[in-house]
A and B are shown apart, each in its own frame.
Chain A
Amino acid sequence: MSREILQVSGLSMRFGGLLAVNGVALTVKEKQVVALIGPNGAGKTTVFNCLTGFYKPSGGSILLDGQPIQGLPGHQIARRGVVRTFQNVRLFKEMTALENLLIAQHRHLNTNFFAGLFKTPNFRRSEKEAMERAAYWLEKVNLTEFANRTAGTLAYGQQRRLEIARCMMTQPRIIMLDEPAAGLNPKETEDLKALISYLRESHNLTVLLIEHDMKLVMSISDHIVVINQGTPLADGTPEQIRGNADVIKAYLGEA
């Protein structure tokens, strides 16, 4: 059995009088795909925002490899290897696809001011390697021919793929996808599924996702956590969730 990489317990988030997330717990093991599902407004994205440091959780603990990360600023959590995509794609729209990928590598590059000023060999090598890594991932998400197009002019599905590639440039350990299949056609959803499996198999990536497409969720998840109105409703394997009466009630209402 693989190691537990992310342990969340008793997570709660309060906005003034509104308790948006209340006592959510989840455990993610290495190389697992875990899905977070629930009706609209259940607090799934809020959980994501807490995990990635965009919100400071009001209570509970988040352990990454046994180290507490709750309350750290977003960029530090990202540096520890937890990166995310956004529900509405957030690319740098005026920059090219390639540049989007270069920016994500910022931390791994030679950012010495004088090295860049005088183009030292070290700087050139660092830039060249960045280009190669970017080219590799552009090919993996089938965007090589669009490398020099500005990201804002790409089709929606392409933008989604570029955002995932951009996350991969930071060399993450956990990738968190917020509704990655929203707005994709069935063919693109299939490609996405293949991409997620590829990430997990060849890059030892742990995937946490929020998704409404049940077919996708049921087919790729190892574990599913259901949230309703900010509180955990159920968790288990896809089979267990499919047969859970509470979940069905939450989604379909009282029979």
Chain B
Amino acid sequence: MNRNLKQALFSALLVWAVAFPVLGLKLSIDGIRLVVHSQGNFTLSIIAVCSLLMFLRVLFDRQWSAVMGQRSGRKLVPPSVSNFLTLPKTQRWIILGLIVVALIWPFFGSRGAVDIATLILIYVMLGLGLNIVVGLAGLLDLGYVGFYAVGAYTYAMLSHYLGWGFWICLPIAGLMAATFGFLLGFPVLRLRGDYLAIVTLGFGEIIRLFLRNLTDWTGGPNGISNIDKPSFFGLSFERRAAEGMQTFHEYFGLPYNSINKVIFLYLVALLLALAALFVINRLLRMPIGRAWEALREDEIACRALGLNPTVIKLSAFTLGATFAGFAGSFFAARQGLVTPESFTFIESAIILAIVVLGGMGSQLGVILAAIVMILLPELMREFSEYRMLMFGAMMVLMMIWRPQGLLPMQRPHMELRR
């Protein structure tokens, strides 16, 4: 009891120590000096109530866990439902449903909503690509954003210097990213686990800094601006077409509406994301997909069976990078501007969070996680400075509640039919 009391007191003090400086004090500028104000009695009393609750919670820890123990017998989601939801067949239907929703969405949503949906689709693409590397092949890649940057800058530079269009540059950007993936993968793939993570992290940063310092070509920190948007079979979506081009609204005799452009960009993103979904879905059922998973499970056994681990890992790394390249070139086209600051480590972290939160290896999970990860910060804009705090709290809760990810997938097994 004595120990409990001590711990409870300590916890209550800790609540004060954490909450008081953050919430209880306010800085304001008085002339040229910074003055510290108290936040008023209301905030202080809330902190006091919280610390009291914490005190009681720790003091009666044993009784509390006994009550919770009885309750935890019932799961929040019954196992049968959970099993049903993780079946590959169910997930395929859910994905189909999502695709239908995604197809009709832009014609009903507002302009802002369609714009956010486009952003989500970019992250879906990135998440699906990284899922190959991390979820399937089990290689922790913290520099994925580097390939995204390569894709974006490939299109930006080809468009800026040579005036090439989006649809020609898209495959080139994918190819460039794949080349970088291959070249970077070659020296690092003999490493495993933590070491690989650190080296890839370094490579991601090197690519960003390289782009930043190559001022003559990439515009340095200012980046490249005025990148052309994709065209619809040669029809532009601007109000007035450039020399020798026709605009979409003139060709079809419609009045000019700027939302057409947004919807078109959204549909292009959807097309790319669906292509990624299809390709990866097939990969899972191809020999190479099986080999990735086998390699993740036991590299030594793979070698003993004549599988070349380097080639298999490289293929995962290269293919993952290709999808980042596609996403990158689309990103450049949508923004019309690329700067090195769009490709910082935090982007890699977000993409990795999407893969992990979604449930490693699950495509539906990645899609849902991308929606959650991009939509939540947007929805919580009203909470201004508490936004990131709430976001962090939700991620912690998520890891407590579903450590295996939002919607993990049972692998699609090959069945022996008789």
Chain B proximity mask over A26-69: 1 for CB below 8 Å, otherwise 0: 00000000000000000000000000111000000000000000
Q: How far is the CB of A215 from chain B (nearest CB, A)?
A: 28
Does B290 lie within 8 Å of A83, measured CB to CB?
no
A52-B304, A98-B415 provided; 7 other pairs, C-beta below 8 A?
Answer: A75-B307, A86-B300, A86-B301, A95-B293, A95-B411, A103-B302, A111-B286
| Chain B interfacial positions (CB closer than 8 Å to A) | 279, 282-283, 285-288, 290-291, 293-294, 297-298, 300-309, 411, 413-416, 418
A-B interface contact total, Cβ < 8 Å:
111
What total of chain A residues lie within 8 Å of the partner, measured CB to CB? Answer: 44
Does A107 lie within 8 Å of B300, measured CB to CB?
no
Complex contacts, B309 vs chain A, CB 8 Å: 75
Which A residues between 106 and 126 are near B, CB-CB below 8 angstroms?
Answer: 106-107, 109-111, 113, 116-117, 119
Contacting residue for A116 out of B287, B305, B416, CB 8 A? B287
Does B300 lie within 8 Å of A54, measured CB to CB?
yes
Does A134 lie within 8 Å of B298, measured CB to CB?
no
Does A148 lie within 8 Å of B416, measured CB to CB?
yes
Does B301 lie within 8 Å of A78, measured CB to CB?
no
CA distance A92 to B295 in the complex (A): 9
CA distance A177 to B285 in the complex (A): 31
What are 20 residue pairs bridging A and B, where the CB atoms are less than 8 Å apart in the complex? A74-B303, A75-B305, A78-B303, A86-B304, A92-B294, A92-B298, A94-B411, A95-B294, A95-B297, A98-B414, A98-B415, A98-B416, A102-B290, A103-B305, A103-B307, A106-B287, A107-B306, A116-B286, A144-B416, A148-B413
Complex contacts, B286 vs chain A, CB 8 Å: 111, 113, 116-117
Chain B proximity mask over A188-226: 1 for CB below 8 Å, otherwise 0: 000000000000000000000000000000000000000
Contacting residue for B288 out of A90, A111, A170, CB 8 A? A111
Complex contacts, A74 vs chain B, CB 8 Å: 303-304
Does B290 lie within 8 Å of A103, measured CB to CB?
yes
CA distance A104 to B415 in the complex (A): 16
CA distance A117 to B283 in the complex (A): 7
Complex contacts, A148 vs chain B, CB 8 Å: 413, 415-416
Does B288 lie within 8 Å of A116, measured CB to CB?
yes
Does B413 lie within 8 Å of A78, measured CB to CB?
no
Decide yes or no: A83 and B306 within 8 Å by CB, A91-B301, A92-B294, A92-B298 being known contacts: yes
Does A170 lie within 8 Å of B306, measured CB to CB?
yes
Does B305 lie within 8 Å of A83, measured CB to CB?
yes
Q: Classify the interface of chain B: helix, strand, loop or mixed.
A: helix
Complex contacts, A173 vs chain B, CB 8 Å: none
Does A117 lie within 8 Å of B282, measured CB to CB?
yes
Q: Is A8 an interface residue (CB 8 A)?
A: no
CA distance A92 to B304 in the complex (A): 13
Q: Is A182 an interface residue (CB 8 A)?
A: no
Closest-by-CB residue of A relative to B289 is A116
Which A residues between 75 and 102 are near B, CB-CB below 8 angstroms?
Answer: 75-76, 78-79, 83-84, 86, 90-96, 98-99, 102
CA distance A5 to B282 in the complex (A): 41
Does B300 lie within 8 Å of A104, measured CB to CB?
no
Contacting residue for B304 out of A78, A117, A135, CB 8 A? A78
Complex contacts, A103 vs chain B, CB 8 Å: 287, 290-291, 294, 302, 305, 307
Does B304 lie within 8 Å of A109, measured CB to CB?
no
Complex contacts, B305 vs chain A, CB 8 Å: 75, 78, 83, 103-104, 106, 166-167, 169-170
CA distance A144 to B416 in the complex (A): 9
Complex contacts, A54 vs chain B, CB 8 Å: 300, 303-304
Contacting residue for A92 out of B279, B285, B293, CB 8 A? B293
Q: Is A234 an interface residue (CB 8 A)?
A: no
Q: Is A11 an interface residue (CB 8 A)?
A: no
Q: How far is the CB of A39 from chain B (nearest CB, A)?
A: 25
CA distance A83 to B291 in the complex (A): 18
Contacting residue for A99 out of B300, B304, B308, B414, CB 8 A? B414
Q: Is A6 an interface residue (CB 8 A)?
A: no
Complex contacts, A104 vs chain B, CB 8 Å: 305
Complex contacts, A78 vs chain B, CB 8 Å: 303-306
Does B297 lie within 8 Å of A116, measured CB to CB?
no
Contacting residue for A90 out of B282, B300, B308, B411, CB 8 A? B300
Closest-by-CB residue of B relative to A91 is B301
Complex contacts, B300 vs chain A, CB 8 Å: 54, 86, 90
Q: Is A131 an interface residue (CB 8 A)?
A: yes
Q: Is A147 an interface residue (CB 8 A)?
A: yes
Does A84 lie within 8 Å of B283, measured CB to CB?
no
